[in-house]
Amino acid sequence: MNAPAPDTFALFVREDVRDTVRERQFQLLVGFFVLPSALLTYAAGRSASVAGNQVELLPSLLPAFAMLTPLLALGFFASTLVEKRTTGALNVVLGLPISRRTVVVGTLVGRSIVICAGLGASLLVAVPFALFVGVAVDLGRFVVVGVILALLAVTFTALAVAISATVRTSTRATTAAFAAFVVFFFNLWAHLPNTLSYVRHGFSYPETDPEWVPFLEAINPVAAYANLLGGLYPDLNSGAFIQPPAEPAVYERPAFALVVLVGWIVLATAVGYRRFRTTDL
């Protein structure tokens, strides 16, 4: 496997980002991020002035953003390559000296830039607006949380691109994206190791869970996000349905959570590329 020729790779990413602008996807995505961010900041400002106490920006934003980020990544990007395949755009792109790896990895990079731009814009808008309406901002913490959210965004973008590289129709892409969101965000994922343990224990629940059950639970990318955020800032509610444990095991600590998120990005992209490499257009 040769490294993608850097010039066509950069070209592909640049034009992919510009495509989202031409198709108004970029503008829409930024809108979907900025609008809730502005509304929530405004609401936090109102409640601060009414109750007369100190309100911080992050706890007001996080619950919405923890849901919005995976949802928008899957919703916007899960049909990217599927659409290009059905319209025949891939026949044009792959008629040029552009490799299939460039198409998959370039789409991941391009769309990651787009969603991070949306996320970044919404956070940038929130800060001056928060100060204006009297909401406190801890800037250092705000930046770190922004980076964590960006990592979550890239993880789900990688899942979305993997879906779009694997399935052949938009319907299936949409269904798979919806399933991925439900499984990860509403943590149906946790039922998997629990059911496994139930079956292995002769169809009854063991009194104490075997060690691999919470380990598998921590592999959920949303759990990893919650563990990463909760481990760094225990007082912040991550906004996910999964609460980090009070006494985290090694695999529930921030460092491991970081590895899990990066692992999902690499694994999803590798699987997507493997399928896409050998597929018939």
Q: Least distance (Å) from another protein to the CB of residue 24?
A: 8
Interface with another protein, residue 211, by CB under 8 A: no
Interface with another protein, residue 84, by CB under 8 A: yes
Q: Least distance (Å) from another protein to the CB of residue 91?
A: 4
- Measured distance CA(11)–CA(229) in Å, rounded: 35
Q: Least distance (Å) from another protein to the CB of residue 19?
A: 4
Binding footprint of another protein, residue count (CB under 8 A): 24
User: Which residue do the tokens 């090694």 mark?
Assistant: 250
Can you point out the beta strands (E) in 37-172?
none
Select the residue interacting with another protein from 39, 89, 255, 266 (CB under 8 A).
Answer: 89
| Cα dihedral 128, 131, 133, 138 in deg (nearest 10) | 110
- Measured distance CA(194)–CA(176) in Å, rounded: 23
Hey, what are 228's tokens? 């990463």
- Measured distance CA(269)–CA(275) in Å, rounded: 10
Select the residue interacting with another protein from 13, 17, 19, 66 (CB under 8 A).
Answer: 19
3-state secondary structure 205-257: CCCCCCCHHHHHHHHCHHHHHHHHHHHHCCCCCCCCCCCCCCCCCHHHCHHHH
- Confirm if 26 and 117 have CB atoms less than 8 A apart: yes
Which of these ranges, 88-96, 201-209, 256-264, 267-275, lies near another protein under the rule CB under 8 A?
A: 88-96
Hey, what are 141's tokens? 């913490």
Interface with another protein, residue 278, by CB under 8 A: yes
Interface with another protein, residue 217, by CB under 8 A: no
Interface with another protein, residue 96, by CB under 8 A: yes
Residue closer to another protein (CB basis): 92 or 143: 92
Q: How many CB atoms lie within 10 A of CB 7?
A: 9
Select the residue interacting with another protein from 179, 249, 267, 281 (CB under 8 A).
Answer: 281
Of 98-157, which residues contact another protein (CB under 8 A)?
A: 98-99
The single-letter DSSP state of residue 4 is P
Q: Is 136 helix (H, G, I), strand (E, B) or coil?
A: strand
Which of these ranges, 84-92, 128-136, 174-182, 265-273, lies near another protein under the rule CB under 8 A?
A: 84-92
Q: Least distance (Å) from another protein to the CB of residue 274?
A: 14
- Catalog residues that contact another protein under the rule CB under 8 A: 5, 7-8, 11, 15, 19, 22-23, 84, 87-89, 91-99, 278, 280-281
